[in-house]
Amino acid sequence: MREQAQSPVAVPAPLLQVNHLHVGFGGQDVVKDLSFCIQAGEKLALVGESGSGKTITALSLLRLVGEAQLRGEALMGGRNLLQISEREMQAVRGDEIAVIFQEPMTALNPLMTMGAQIAEVLQLKQGLDDKAAWEQAVQLLATTGIPEPQRRAGSYPHQLSGGQRQRAMIAMALACRPKLLIADEPTTALDVSLRGQILELLSDLQRQTGMAVLMITHDLPLVRHFADRVAVMEKGRLVEQGAVAEVFAAPQHAYTQKLLASTPQRQVVARQPEAPTVLQTRDLQVAYATPLPGIAGWFRKGRFDAVRGASLALGRGQTLGVIGESGSGKSTLAQAILGLLPSQGELRIGQETWQLPAQRNSAANQQLRRKVQVVFQDPFSSLSPRMTVQEMVGEGLQLAQPQLAPADLQQQVLALLQEVGMTEAQFPGLLERYPHEFSGGQRQRLAIARALIVDPEILVLDEPTSALDVTIQQQVLALLQRLQRERGLSYVLITHDVAVIRAMAHEVLVMKDGEVVESGEVMQVLDAPRQAYTQRLMAASLELG
């Protein structure tokens, strides 16, 4: 543990002092003897892998951990937050300590407009009337950089983009001018440009208001860019803390060294220019009907082109990366290839060619899905919570080969699970377990096994590691690289993470507003981009790198 240098100058009392914090569930401590402090106006990053205890620590400060047993001290304003009454704690929440969460869509009320949600806080905490609360809510949205705040105040969460939802949540957190803002993975689900914008916004607001920020994250480049000090947690314990520059330059603890070394490694098969094409699209288009503002009626529809004229080619055993900001059309392109969205254009897989939409029917889709499978961003959402490992992994093969004997099906499921690094020896009763019994990285391995069970030629990987911490991300990418080498798989990799593209892809498409604006060999595009938009993406990734 780093020792803080002694100084004869009087140091002001911390805004928050945590002493010997223990958090337990069922007699088992998940946070152990944790001590740290935050000064007024300071930005402290609490970092560690999933399961290290960092989020539980933050929620414990607000006593939002259910039936957990809390021991120790969390001193703020002369009070121990772990011992004051619930009534006093309610006054602390929002007024003195506010929180913004990783995923606004789950934290915001889908049935209330953004203005109403912020106004509700102002009415409850500050006693403002309806008109004053609404006006203040609009002003807060403007402060956080949301365009057309008056109009957006009347929007529901699903009508805002990911970055706008996060800005709206920040506006709500700032409503009562807290002394401490807890930011729990506030940028994990955002693309690199939005990540930079949200960090800049938080830094600006922190300087303007003088509030302290406790940043919970596993994103080390973000810590380097944002925080003053960093505290590193492993298995519920604090293993190292100090100034960001010092810890990053000379980490003392082996765990900190491992975290800093966990960057995606490029271990892909060499690019084969003569590799046969397994997937090709020509002039692929996806459009939605949208209501025209101010015009009522069933036929008063506008048209939104989500993908316009996208053409791509993927070689056998190669990876095609598709990168762009949120809303660029990259995931829509993937869903169109998979037949999950109506589209127009030409699609060729192997020797089969479809003119869309005329030739896309259930039989064609069934044939396509034997050759093309998908791995989604969040396996906890994409895997059924009601199905066992045997059922979820074996389902595709059972549908493709209904005559297969149960014993043979089970044998193939076990063999595939072993191939993705999960065995009965590691997980007794593996086949009868459910998704919630596994970690995020383990669930993603199950999702990969589920996709591979029908022996596809192509995997569409839609943000496969963006929800994982750095060390688990590296492990999953290494698994995908190995499977590609051994099976000759071809990947369409959808991501906003430039480091993942650099580690995995042979060629890359850059998308903006539904169009491919640049494409080519991956290192050429990333290191010497021709288009201004690509240059901006690369600059944003380097700034946070």
Is 350 domain-assigned? yes
Task: State residue 300's pLDDT score.
Answer: 53
Same domain? 306 vs 427: yes
Q: What sign does the dihedral 128-131-136-141 (CA atoms) show?
A: positive
**Residue at which a domain ends, from 153, 176, 199:** 176
What span, in angstroms and rounded, lies between the C-alpha atoms of 478 and 448?
13
289 and 153, same structural domain? no
Task: Give the pLDDT of the chain (545 residues) as one tens digit per residue.
Answer: 555 555 555 668 899 999 999 999 988 999 999 999 999 999 999 999 888 899 999 999 999 998 899 999 999 999 999 999 999 999 999 899 999 987 788 889 999 999 999 999 999 888 999 999 999 999 999 999 888 999 999 999 988 877 888 899 999 999 999 999 999 988 876 777 778 888 889 999 999 999 999 999 988 888 988 999 999 999 999 999 999 999 999 999 999 999 888 777 676 667 776 789 999 999 999 987 765 555 555 555 667 788 999 999 999 999 999 998 877 889 899 989 988 888 899 999 988 888 877 555 666 667 777 899 999 887 878 899 999 999 999 999 999 899 999 999 999 999 999 999 999 998 999 999 999 888 888 999 999 999 999 999 999 999 898 878 788 888 899 999 999 999 999 999 999 888 899 999 999 999 998 999 999 999 999 999 999 999 998 888 755 55
Judge whether 412 lies within some domain.
yes
- Which of 176, 207, 229 is the endpoint of a domain? 176
CATH code for the domain of 519: 3.40.50.300
Helix (H, G, I), strand (E, B) or coil at 449: helix
- Same domain? For 430 and 282 the reply is yes
Residue 201 lies in a domain: no
Q: Are 285 and 171 part of one and the same domain? A: no
**285: its two tokens:** 């288009």
Q: Do 517 and 381 share a structural domain?
A: yes
Contact 259, 232 (CB under 8 A): yes
Give the Cα separation of 46 and 233 in Å (integer): 7
In which order are the strands placed within the sheet that holds 16-25? 28-38, 16-25, 69-76, 79-80
Residue 263: φ, ψ to 5°: -115, 145
Q: Residues 109, 117: contact at Cβ < 8 Å?
A: yes
Hey, what are 481's tokens? 């690289």
Tokens 């011992």, residue? 83
Is 122 a domain residue? yes
Q: Which one-letter amino acid corresponds to residue 420? A: V
Give dist(CA 490, CA 272) in Å, integer: 12
Residue 113 covered by a domain: yes
Domain that holds residue 152: 105-176
Same domain for 495 and 373: yes
Q: pTM for this one?
A: 0.78
Same domain, 169 and 292: no
Cα separation, 527 vs 204, in Å, equals 31
Q: How far apart are CA 194 and CA 24, in angstroms?
A: 36
| Structural contact between residues 457 and 351, judged by C-beta atoms closer than 8 angstroms | no
Dihedral Cα 174, 175, 179, 182, nearest 10 deg: -50
Q: Is the Cβ–Cβ distance between 518 and 525 less than 8 Å? A: yes
Name the residue among 446, 422, 424 with its Cα closest to residue 434: 446
Beta carbons of 466 and 378 less than 8 angstroms apart: no
Contacts of 266 (CB under 8 A, 6+ apart): 502, 503, 504
Verify that 306 and 157 share a domain, yes or no: no
According to the model, what pLDDT value does residue 515 have? 94
Give domain status of residue 464, yes or no: yes
**Within a domain: 308:** yes
Task: Determine the pLDDT at residue 378.
Answer: 79
- Adjacent-strand bridge partners of 173: none
**Residue in this structure with the two tokens 């070689």, named with its chain if needed:** 315
Q: Are 201 and 226 in contact (CB under 8 A)?
A: no
User: Angle 139-141-143 (CA atoms, 0-180°, nearest 5)?
Assistant: 70
Give Cα 31 distance to the centre of its chain.
Answer: 24
Separation between Cα atoms, residue 291 and residue 298, nearest integer Å: 9
Q: Is residue 25 part of a domain?
A: no
Q: Domain count of the chain?
A: 2
Same domain (yes/no): 312, 167: no
Of 123, 152, 176, which marks where a domain is finished?
A: 176
Clarify whether residues 165 and 284 are in a common domain. no
Sheet holding 277-291, edge to edge: 301-315, 277-291, 344-349, 352-356
**Looking at this protein, which amino acid is placed at residue 503?**
A
Residues 384 and 531 in one domain: yes
| Count of C-beta atoms within a 10 Å radius of residue 176 | 18
Q: Which residues contact 93 (CB under 8 A, 6 or more apart)?
A: 62
Terminal-to-terminal C-alpha distance of the chain: 26
What angle is formed at CA 464 by the lines to CA 460 and CA 468, rounded to 5 degrees?
175
